[in-house]
């Protein structure tokens, strides 16, 4: 939907540039080559200077920095680091070769900068033609000063969005494109620049994860299954039990409501990583919980809460409940207090019992309000790195899997492939897979909730 | 009538019993953490739960023995990063979400969808590239790099704030425009003063984020212990070679982290709730 709307816009823009050239006079046409020339010719010097400066800066960038990476972008480097024996010094001297990582990263940067430059160039061409028309009609040509002034009101979005855009492009967009491209290379442990270069391999990594390599694809399928199961289990256990807890405290006849809530909320106070590290100590073979169990005579030997494959999975779900239930209780309590009282009254007059009231009023209202919250929780749980990494470290390790353990999620596998194994290409493919899962899940739920919001507003 | 009362009494008693049990389950790890932080005996594990001797040594040594693990430095690092991240990302999130909610400009939808898509990639997928970039810019192992990385990822979380701005009446803007106020003035003088709940929510979540992350810290700082933040630093204390000597100090260090973060949360929890539920609950 988005694409179909976008393509004409780009085409329209391109058409305007073509028209500008076709109908432009000499100055306008020359401005295609020397940006900002029209500004000097038509007495809006400042605007012309800005365009000219941009062009000079771009050319300088390409000569000094970008060009050499762009040239090698198709091969990602051919010259490996050399080793030459220096007779005089009696040592080996390394000659600098290509570095595929740098070529890929700065090549991508250069491509982005080039695209941006072309956008500026196109706006230069349009502005040149516009100024030509304005001059012909004897109208006033907009000056730089007026443009800057418009940033305060008419073009205020540029003021607000430019810095965030710059930051996000540099630290999120560029690195992401880089990583996505990496999925199409053979940048693994055996191809580490500058000693060994890597190059483009097309879709090889995708085919190997989808069945080409038995062990990797087996690991992928199993971890994918566990990731989805985990995300569903952890999201809904927290939600349901949080709701039960909130309803119990909210019951009219229960006293010390604030006190009870405070007890559970106080656990939120402790940063998650502290809780998780502490829990992993408590659940250790010699940890507090095993000591307690053995002293009470409930077991003879330590229980492998974190080392038994099935038990470890149950453990992470339960620990996650310990962490998450106070949050969902807090939120659900807030929502409960917001349900319009007259809805309950109407139900009571109709003679509905508490169970019916819950299923007919409380639950639908809650789901209505918390759908976005549930989506973010679900997505957050797919990416829930901390809990797995800090509790089990993905373990227990198994030889059936490719460098992964039984409780590893796709994201912790990704982390291990990057940091421990340096199989960046595999990591990139996993990352893309995680993206697809989150995107599909979000779109499905979003469409459903969008359909719901089109109906009458609740309450 | 009597049976109804009896039934209610039974159900109430059952709920009290259950709540008490749950409260114990939830408080036990916290009590354990606090007890261990005062434990006088050495070692990571003890054969008993309640320490035999109590001491303040664990707390004192955190601040005096700083050769290997510089806890006060970590604390300072975390505070610096958290404060700057909080300021920058709150400002950015407010600016982005206001622009998307109130201003109409070409390719606004495209822009918003792009943000949505970017947010769906696992955040640390790109950490290797970020590491290289920072090194080239010359910010290698600095706290500024952490602030930049956290802020840029926080910028994508504009949905909650946008939802909030959507609920503010547009007539206010229109009235101000008629009075001759510019967009810039409307944003700072009219919209922001009305947006306390969402400002507090955004500030709170972005302030707490640096306390929780240790992936980026570990990738960026490598083994430069002095530039660590609390989470990664405390994590080091529990590594196999350190846990015996440092477990009780880890507990003490954790308690000192928990107190300020906890207090902050206690005071601001209603904003948190209203933020998460997208303004459905009034803060």
DSSP string, A326-359: HHHHHHHHHHHTTS-HHHHHHHHHTT--HHHHII
Q: Is residue A459 part of a domain?
A: no
pLDDT exceeds cutoff 60 at B78:
yes
Looking at residue A2, its pLDDT comes to 45
Packing angle, helices A309-336 and A272-282, rounded to 10: 140
Looking at residue A315, its pLDDT comes to 92
Domain-ending residue, one of A167, A202, A237: A202
Average pLDDT over residues B150-167: 84
A288 and A339 share a domain?
A: yes
The pair phi, psi for residue A360, each rounded to 5°, is: -95, -30
CA dihedral B82, B211, B257, A266 (to 10 degrees): 110
Whether A254 and chain B come into contact, CB under 8 Å, resolves to: yes
A284 and A411 share a domain?
A: yes
Average pLDDT over residues A280-289: 82
Q: Write the pLDDT tens digit of every residue in A260-284.
A: 888 888 888 787 888 888 888 888 8
Indicate which of A156, A174, A231 best probes the interface with B, i.e. most B CBs within 10 Å of its own CB: A156
ipTM: 0.84
State the pLDDT confidence band at A3, using cuts at 50, 70 and 90. Answer: very low
Looking at residue A459, its pLDDT comes to 38
A235 and A333 share a domain?
A: yes
Looking at residue A4, its pLDDT comes to 46
pLDDT exceeds cutoff 90 at A60:
yes
Q: Write the pLDDT tens digit of every residue in B41-64.
A: 887 777 777 888 888 888 999 899
What are A445's two structure tokens? 């739920």
Q: Write the pLDDT tens digit of every residue in A367-380.
A: 877 877 788 888 88
Q: Write the pLDDT tens digit of every residue in A418-435.
A: 888 888 889 999 999 998
Mark yes or no for CB contact A271/B117 under 8 Å: no
A301 and A411 share a domain?
A: yes
Q: Which domain holds residue A387?
A: 208-454
pLDDT, averaged across chain B: 86
What are B31's two structure tokens? 């009590």
Whether A445 and chain B come into contact, CB under 8 Å, resolves to: no
A282 and A330 share a domain?
A: yes
When CB atoms are compared, the residue of B120, B212, B263 closest to A435 is B120
Residues of B in contact with A319 (CB under 8 A): none
pLDDT, averaged across chain A: 84
Report which of B209, B273, B242, B204 is spatially closest to residue B78, judged by C-alpha positions. Answer: B209
Q: Is residue A51 part of a domain?
A: yes
* Cα–Cα distance list, B18 to A115, A320, B29 (Å): 63, 20, 18
A191 and A213 share a domain?
A: no
Report helix, strand or coil for A93. strand
Looking at residue A226, its pLDDT comes to 94
A426 and A445 share a domain?
A: yes
Domain-ending residue, one of A202, A229, A247: A202
Q: A12-26, A190-204, B56-70: which has the minimum mean pLDDT?
A: A190-204
When CB atoms are compared, the residue of B12, B117, B234 closest to A253 is B12
Average pLDDT over residues B186-197: 88
Looking at residue A203, its pLDDT comes to 87
CATH code, A431: 1.10.3720.10
State the pLDDT confidence band at A457, using cuts at 50, 70 and 90. Answer: very low
Residues of B in contact with A335 (CB under 8 A): 277, 280-281
Which of A291-295, A338-342, B257-261 shows the highest mean pLDDT?
B257-261
Looking at residue A208, its pLDDT comes to 86
Q: A323-337, B13-27, B111-125: which has the minimum mean pLDDT?
A: B111-125
A212 and A187 share a domain?
A: no
A295 and A415 share a domain?
A: yes
When CB atoms are compared, the residue of A161, A279, A434 closest to B122 is A434
A181 and A254 share a domain?
A: no
Q: Write the pLDDT tens digit of every residue in A222-261.
A: 999 999 999 999 999 999 999 999 988 988 888 888 888 8
Pairwise CA distance, residues A142 & A137, whole Å? 14
User: What percent of chain A is predicted at pLDDT more than 90?
Assistant: 20
Nearest chain A residue to B156, by CA? A168
Count: domains in chain A:
2
pLDDT exceeds cutoff 70 at A138:
yes
A171 and A52 share a domain?
A: yes
């Amino acid at each position: 939907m988005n694409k179909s709307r976008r393509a004409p816009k780009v085409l329209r823009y391109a058409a305007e540039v073509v028209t500008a050239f076709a109908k432009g006079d000499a100055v306008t046409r020359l401005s295609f080559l020397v940006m900002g020339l029209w500004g000097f010719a038509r007495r809006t010097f400042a605007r012309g200077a800005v365009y000219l400066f941009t062009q000079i800066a771009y050319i300088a960038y390409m000569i000094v920095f970008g060009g050499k990476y762009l040239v090698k972008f198709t091969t990602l480097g051919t010259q490996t680091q050399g080793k030459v024996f220096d007779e005089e010094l009696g040592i080996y001297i390394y000659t600098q070769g290509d570095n595929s990582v740098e070529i890929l990263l700065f090549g991508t940067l250069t491509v982005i900068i080039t695209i941006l430059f072309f956008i500026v160039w196109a706006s230069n061409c349009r502005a040149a033609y516009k100024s030509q028309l304005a001059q012909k009609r004897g109208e006033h040509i907009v000056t730089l000063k007026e443009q800057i002034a418009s940033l305060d009101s008419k073009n205020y979005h540029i003021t607000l969005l430019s810095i965030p855009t710059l930051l996000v492009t540099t630290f999120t967009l560029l690195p992401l494109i880089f990583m996505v491209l990496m999925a199409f290379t053979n940048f693994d442990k055996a191809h580490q620049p500058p000693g060994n270069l890597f190059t483009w391999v097309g879709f090889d990594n995708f085919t190997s994860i989808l069945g080409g390599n038995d062990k990797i694809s087996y690991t992928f399928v199993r971890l994918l299954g566990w990731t989805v199961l985990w995300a569903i289990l952890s999201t809904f256990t927290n939600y349901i039990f949080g709701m039960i807890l909130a309803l119990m405290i909210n019951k009219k006849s229960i006293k010390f409501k604030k006190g009870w809530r405070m007890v559970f909320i106080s656990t939120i106070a402790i940063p998650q990583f502290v809780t998780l590290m502490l829990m992993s100590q408590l659940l250790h073979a010699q940890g507090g919980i095993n000591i307690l169990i053995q002293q009470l005579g409930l077991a003879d030997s330590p229980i492998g809460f974190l080392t038994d494959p099935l038990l470890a999975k149950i453990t992470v779900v339960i620990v996650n409940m310990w962490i998450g239930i106070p949050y969902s209780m807090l939120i659900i309590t807030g929502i409960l207090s917001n349900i319009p009282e007259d809805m309950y009254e109407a139900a009571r007059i109709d003679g509905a019992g508490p169970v019916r009231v819950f299923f007919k009023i409380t639950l639908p209202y809650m789901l209505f309000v918390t759908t976005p919250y549930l989506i973010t929780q679900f997505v957050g749980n797919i990416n829930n790195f901390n809990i797995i990494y800090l509790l089990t470290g993905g373990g227990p390790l198994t030889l059936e899997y490719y460098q992964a353990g039984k409780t590893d999620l796709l994201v912790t596998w990704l982390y291990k492939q990057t940091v421990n194994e340096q199989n960046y290409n595999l990591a990139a493919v996993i990352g893309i897979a995680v993206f697809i899962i989150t995107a599909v899940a979000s779109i499905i739920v979003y469409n459903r909730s969008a359909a719901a919001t089109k109906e009458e507003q609740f309450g | 009538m009597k049976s109804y009362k009896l039934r209610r009494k039974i159900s109430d008693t059952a709920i009290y019993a259950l709540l008490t049990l749950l409260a114990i389950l939830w408080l036990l790890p916290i009590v354990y953490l606090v007890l261990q932080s005062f434990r006088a005996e050495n070692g990571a594990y003890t054969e008993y739960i309640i320490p035999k001797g109590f001491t303040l040594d664990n707390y004192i040594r955190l601040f005096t023995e700083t050769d290997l693990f510089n806890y006060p430095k970590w604390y300072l690092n975390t505070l610096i990063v958290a404060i700057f991240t909080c300021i920058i990302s709150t400002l950015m999130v407010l600016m982005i979400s206001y622009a998307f909610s109130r201003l109409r400009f070409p390719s606004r939808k495209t822009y918003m969808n792009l943000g949505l898509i970017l947010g769906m990639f696992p955040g640390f997928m790109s950490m290797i590239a970020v590491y290289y970039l920072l090194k080239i810019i010359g910010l290698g192992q600095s706290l500024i790099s952490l602030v930049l990385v956290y802020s840029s990822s926080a910028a994508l979380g504009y949905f909650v704030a946008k939802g909030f701005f959507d609920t503010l009446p547009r007539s206010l803007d229109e009235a101000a425009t008629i009075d001759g106020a510019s967009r810039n003035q409307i944003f700072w003088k009219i919209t922001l003063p009305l947006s306390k709940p969402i400002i507090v929510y955004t500030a709170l979540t972005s302030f707490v984020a640096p306390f929780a992350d240790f992936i980026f810290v570990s990738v960026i700082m490598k083994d430069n212990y002095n530039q660590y933040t609390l989470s990664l630093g405390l994590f080091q204390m529990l590594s196999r070679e350190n846990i015996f000597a440092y477990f009780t100090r880890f507990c003490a260090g954790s308690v000192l982290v928990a107190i300020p973060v906890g207090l902050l949360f206690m005071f601001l929890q209603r904003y948190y709730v209203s933020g998460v539920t997208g303004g459905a609950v009034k803060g």
